[in-house]
Amino acid sequence: MDYVTFSLPPLPVFIKGAESVFPTGKRHFRRTFTVFDLLYVKQGCLYMTENGREFAVGSGQYLLLIPGREHYGHRPCRERTELVWLHFSLPDYEIVADHIASRQTVVEKEATYTEPIQYRLSIRQYGELKQRERAEQLLSQIVEPNVERDLDRPLRQLLLFVEFLWHLQKQELSVPNASEQVSAAAVAYIEKHFHEPVTLERLARELRFHPDYITRCMQKTIGMGFSHYLAYYRLSKAKQWLAETNETIEAIAKRVGIDDSAYFSRLFKKMEGMTPTEYRRIAQRV
């Protein structure tokens, strides 16, 4: 397996990213790109060939396409496939085979009083995302449309992208600890039952852990407690349906487990800075 290794700083240059859907029967076109193209499959399977090597990128997996190497879809998608793509460049990198990462290899040079710490990251070209919920949260934030044309949005994207690369690096270094395992179980439960009247107490009974412990684990691992993540995930689904369908606000609110459409609208505006109707108008225009 190839690895891409690069120093940091300087920072990678994030260029552009978005979510895409390949319907059944569609395949990726043929090209030789001048920048890196990271493909992450949220649902379905994408069949890609790079320099004659075939990859089947399934749900929860990613493929990092290397500049200068021809790539194309060697087989049409057999099902509806949802993916995120990120284009970026690296100021200096190498392609190496079968690299074993450790703290000693990642920290290339310790900081001094006059020079910063120097990292050497090693990213596996093809693999599966660990702590998938956190990784998908970062990807969603990176590619979220800049509907208000914020001046600082590109800078936030860059910082989030570097955090995502660091996420890929860390998963090469460690086995999930107890907090990460509890958090992953809690997130998986929320994402399966978000359309139901989910409560922390119900989750605690399911996982057989104290509610406070679950909250601490989630806060430590993904930076959000139970209520915050439940709201975040429900609204991420709501935004998808607002952009892709003509369902009423009330119907979408119920689909994400909120019976009170007025409360749904207040929550949406509090977290997104605009009403569901305003978001739909902008998202369907983009």
pLDDT under 50: residue ranges of the chain: none
For the chain, the C-alpha Rg in angstroms (whole number) is 20
pLDDT (0 to 100) of residue 147:
65
Task: Please report the pLDDT score of residue 174 as a whole number.
Answer: 62
Query: pTM for this structure?
Result: 0.62
Identify residue 257 by its one-letter amino acid code: G
What residues contact 85, with CB distance under 8 A and at least 6 apart?
A: 17, 18, 20, 37, 38, 39, 40
